[in-house]
Amino acid sequence: MPSGDDQNVALLGRRLQAARERAFVGREEELSAFGSALRGGGSVLYVHGPGGVGKSALVRRFAEEAATAGRPVTVLDGRTLEPTPAAFEAEAGSVLRDERAVLLIDTFERIQGLEGWLRERFLPRVPVDATVVVAGRNPPDMLWRADPGWAGALEVISLRDLGLADAAALLDARGVAAELRGPLLAFAGGHPLALSLGAAVAIKDREASSRWIPTQDVVATLLDQLVGDVPSAAHRHALEVCAHAYVTTEDLLRAVVPEDAASLFAWLRRLPFVESSSLGLFPHDVVREVLEADLRWRDPQGYADMHYRIHAHLAAQIPTAADSDVLAAVGSLFFLHRDIGSTAEFHSWRGEGEVYEDAFRPEDTEALVRLAAEADGEESAAGVAFWASRQPGAFRLYRRTETGELVGFCSWVRLDKPRDEETAADPITATAWANARAIAPLRPGEHLAVGRTWVCERYRGMSPVMDLIQWRAIGYCLRADRMAWSFMAMPSESPMRDYLRHYDMHDIGEHAWLGDTEYALFAHDWRAVPVQAWLNRLLLTGAQDVSAAQTPELEVLSQSEFTDAVRKALRNLSRPAELAASPLTRSRLVAEHPDLDPAKALRQLLEQAIDDLGQDPRATKFQRAVDVTYRRGAPTQEAAAERLDLPFTTYRRHLFTGIDRICEGLWHRELYGTNQG
């Protein structure tokens, strides 16, 4: 008869086992696979998945199922086993002598060096009706799959997070209050360990609410369990970059961690909690969350420095990316700012691969017209038919990957001057031109663009389709050459109004009517707020350093206004106060020198223009007239003519010609930038 102590130990064990059984949820497919192996025999299950995903809990459940079936069970734990063939066989040797035996090997990553021996020497000696399960963080090496002998005997199970229903059931089993389940699921997703740790902390915190966030104790525990030790500070930094970016490529890693980027990337891709896609590497969601939370708390400045270096690298990729890569480039940049203000509100960040972007082909016209009619009415459909025949390249289509079904499309129509047939056929185009003319007309070589979207009902609002459509719109605006205005047409009562205001697109004037529907045209003047300033406002507002987001709007001047401003600035070249008041201090020319005081930058710009005039031997006489008059301090034009030993009329001709050439050169730079021809 057992002693009182033995009875207490047995009782405690039963209580622990019962609690574990109550907390075990889901995994029906994995249990079914194990049941089939028990009944059929002759197979090896290889279960792999990141730390904390529930491998050990599943192995315990396998042991219970096998014991219930009357099978002798041996459970080995790689954490406590010496990684030698002799030690392994000493613990597991009984399976070699019993055809009904079940061998369960947990935490196999700790004895991964035995994998080849296990495959080649040990498992072939196991009786054909026995069952073996190997569970670890790493997937089996390719030699298992390359061997035709193992093709029918090895079943590989990639253990993933719990589904939403099972994750909710786990929280229910742990006694989590209903109001805490939302934030816990938002943090942990379906990761069992993160859910369990979060639940244990949340149910003890009487002040926990719907604003619950994980404590640093939870974060530290998860880091230890999921990531563990890393080889060096550089490896840790590479892992933090991988957590912060949407996907990590070797190119991105090189921009942030220049030394040994290739070897660090190779190390990342071998980690069990890091996965790969066609775009690059990305970590398990919970690993991403805890690495982010830890670095923000532990080293805020280091986190900010990493953030801005990744931001700069990604932003620089968009203008030069191939058209097929634009969506990925824009999506990666905006994911970087996923927690800032409205950027999170207007992105779903889900459904990757559910829909894809497709090019427009003439045979698609009928389907586009039909969807436009269903979504917005016949008048809208007529506009689609009109532009599809004139600017087919303006359209992008979005299809469900599974079926190829058209579920949405967008257009960005480019316009360089009003044309009667276009304005007559499309009231939205006509209204865009009217608004542009009323506020700031186009200058030579500029154009405007009008964007529209049509989406089937199931994908309206935040959805994978809208993610792709807005990334395409942003990519278009960031890559368009000399676009003065962009207009986005939306029904006046559309709930997307706030979304467009967030992107600094505002309802600025007249509305358009298509049938009985009123459309507002939300506009952005890219001359007043250029691309870089717009990105700073959009993405850096709410960040720790928002100084870059406070860029003032630029002055949009006509050529005559610009020329008058240059003439006046030359006359005031030695008067800082007057230069500071010049509209040129808010021009594109001066904005290219954000590190200088605007008045000082304008003076340097004008002096450089005077010097540049003399680079042409034929213009030396014009340069000397301007230089003496405005930079050498001649008190009057008569005095300047005398210094130059020129008749007054000749001097005046040289001066005016020089000023005209300076004005023309600076106007060209204002329109095209310093690096344009």
Question: pLDDT tens, 423-452?
Answer: 999 999 999 999 999 888 998 889 999 999
Amino acid 2: pLDDT: 47
- Together in a domain, 541 and 614: no
Local structure of 410: helix, strand or coil: strand
pTM: 0.70
pLDDT (0 to 100) of residue 348: 63
Q: Look at residues 314, 339, 349, 346 and name the one whose alpha carbon lies nearest to residue 535.
A: 314
CATH of the domain at 453: 3.40.630.30
- Note whether residue 331 is domain-resident: no
Q: Write down the pLDDT at residue 174.
A: 78
pLDDT of residue 551: 56
Give the residue-averaged pLDDT of 44-68.
90
**237 within some domain:** yes
pLDDT at site 20: 64
Q: Same domain for 10 and 130?
A: yes
Closest by CA to 343, choosing from 326, 330, 324, is: 330
Better pLDDT: 244 or 340:
244
Q: What is the pLDDT of residue 340?
A: 62
User: Dihedral angle at the C-alpha atoms of 491, 497, 499, 502, nearest 10 degrees?
Assistant: 140
What pLDDT, on a 0 to 100 scale, did the predictor assign at position 346?
61
pLDDT at 342 over 60: no
One-character DSSP codes across 599-619? HHHHHHHHHHHHHHHTTSGGG
Single out the residue in 317, 347, 367 at which a domain terminates: 317
pLDDT-derived band of residue 198, with 50, 70 and 90 as boundaries? confident
Same domain, 480 and 382: yes
Q: Which tens digit of pLDDT belongs to each residue from 536-552?
A: 777 654 443 333 445 56
Query: At CA 335, angle to CA 506 and CA 275, rounded to 5?
Result: 160
More confident residue, 135 or 336: 135
pLDDT value of position 677: 39
> 546 in a domain, yes or no?
yes
| Pair (152, 9) in one structural domain | yes
pLDDT at position 14 is: 66
Whether the predicted pLDDT of 19 surpasses 70? no
Kindly give, in sequence order, each residue whose CB lies less than 8 Å from that of residue 83, ignoring residues fewer than 6 positions away.
Answer: 110, 111, 113, 114
- The residue whose two tokens read 């994995």 is 30
> Average pLDDT of 35-59?
87
Strand (E) or helix (H) holding 48: strand 43-48
Say what the pLDDT of residue 44 is: 92
SS (H, E, C) 80-93: CCCCCHHHHHHHHH
Query: What's the chain's average pLDDT?
Result: 85
Q: What is the C-alpha separation between 316 and 182, in angstroms, rounded?
A: 37
- Regarding whether 400 and 518 lie in a shared domain, the answer is yes
Structure-token match 């300033």, residue found? 533
Buried b vs exposed e over 387-402: b needs ≥16 C-beta within 10 Å?
A: bbeebeebbbbbbbee
Helix 178-188 with 192-202: angle, nearest 10 deg: 140
The answer to whether the beta carbons of residues 412 and 473 sit under 8 Å apart is: yes
Angle between helices 285-298 and 178-188 (to 10 degrees): 90
CATH no. for residue 241?
1.10.10
Q: Estimate the crossing angle of helix 164-173 against helix 178-188, to 10 degrees.
A: 130
Nearest Cα to Cα of residue 246 among 282, 217, 271: 282
Written as one letter, the residue type at 519 is: Y
Residues 6+ apart with CB under 8 A from 59: 47, 75, 104, 106, 133, 135
Token representation of residue 139: 């997937």
Q: Is 333 part of any domain?
A: no
CA distance 42 to 32: 16
pLDDT in tens, 415-426: 999 999 999 999
Same domain, residue pair 498 and 482: yes
CB 69 within 8 A of CB 34: no
Considering 56-65, 390-399, 456-465, the range whose residues carry the highest mean pLDDT is: 390-399
| CATH code (residue 31) | 3.40.50.300
DSSP state letters, 126-139: S-TT-EEEEEESSP
> Which pLDDT score, from 0 to 100, does residue 108 have?
92
* One domain, residues 419 and 530: yes
Is the pLDDT score of 284 beyond 90?
no
Instruction: Please report whether residue 336 resides in a domain.
Output: no
Examine the pLDDT at 209 and tell me if it is beyond 80.
no
Question: Which residue in the block uniquely carries the two structure tokens 């892992």?
Answer: 239
What's the token pair of residue 395?
A: 């359209």
Question: Which residues, at least 6 apart from 501, have a Cβ–Cβ distance to it below 8 Å?
Answer: 522
Q: CA separation (Å) from 90 to 98, 108, 131, 372? A: 15, 17, 18, 72
Local confidence band at 16 (pLDDT 50, 70, 90 cut-offs)? low
Phi, psi of 512 (to 5 degrees): -110, 155
List pLDDT tens digits, range 300-331.
999 989 998 999 899 889 988 999 899 989 98
* pLDDT band per the 50, 70, 90 thresholds, residue 554: confident
The domain boundary residue, chosen from 294, 317, 340? 317
Q: Does the pLDDT at position 292 exceed 70?
A: yes
For residues 132 and 545, the model is more confident at 132
pLDDT at residue 523 is higher than 50: yes
Query: Do 591 and 520 share a structural domain?
Result: no
Assign 94 a pLDDT band (cuts: 50, 70, 90).
confident
Q: Could you tell me if 247 and 331 are in contact, meaning their C-beta atoms sit under 8 angstroms apart? A: no
Identify whether residues 202 and 135 lie together within a single domain.
no
Q: Which of 142-151, 217-226, 352-361, 412-421 has the highest mean pLDDT?
A: 412-421
What pLDDT, on a 0 to 100 scale, did the predictor assign at position 1?
43
- 305 and 195 part of one domain: no
- The reported pLDDT for the residue numbered 220 is 85
Examine residue 323 and state whether it is found in any structural domain, yes or no: no
Instruction: Report the distance separating Cα 575 and Cα 528, nearest Å.
Output: 26
57 has a pLDDT exceeding 60: yes
Pair (589, 490) in one structural domain: no
What confidence tier does 487 reach under pLDDT thresholds 50, 70, 90?
very high
Convert 211-245 to b/e letters by CB count within 10 Å (16 or more is b): ebebeeebbbbbeeebbeeeeeebbebbbbbbbbb
Collapsing DSSP to helix, strand or coil, 513 comes out as strand
Q: 15 Cβ partners below 8 Å, 6+ apart?
A: none
The residue ranking higher by pLDDT, 228 or 16, is 228
Q: What does the pLDDT look like over 223-278, one tens digit per residue?
A: 888 888 899 999 999 999 999 998 999 999 999 988 889 999 999 998 888 888 87
Please check whether residue 533 lies inside any domain of the structure: yes
What pLDDT shows up at residue 460?
Answer: 78
Measure the CA–CA gap between 477 and 479, rounded to whole angstroms: 6
601-653 pLDDT, tens per residue? Answer: 888 889 998 998 888 888 889 989 989 998 887 888 898 888 889 999 999 99
**Six-digit token string for 144:** 């298992």
**Residues 369 and 309 reside in one and the same domain:** no
Domain region containing 149: 4-158
Boundary-marking domain end, from 550, 581, 600: 550
Q: Long-range contacts made by residues 87-93, C-beta under 8 angstroms, separation at least 24?
A: 88/114, 88/118, 88/122, 89/122, 92/122
Does residue 342 lie within any of the structural domains?
Answer: no
pLDDT category of residue 453 using cuts at 50, 70 and 90: very high
For residue 629, give the DSSP letter.
I
Query: Residue 245: its pLDDT value, please?
Result: 93
Residue 666: which of 532, 553, 528, 570 has the closest Cα?
570
Q: What percent of the chain has pLDDT over 70?
A: 90
Query: What is the number of structural domains in the chain?
Result: 5
Alpha helices for 270-350 (secondary structure H): 285-298, 300-317, 326-336, 342-345
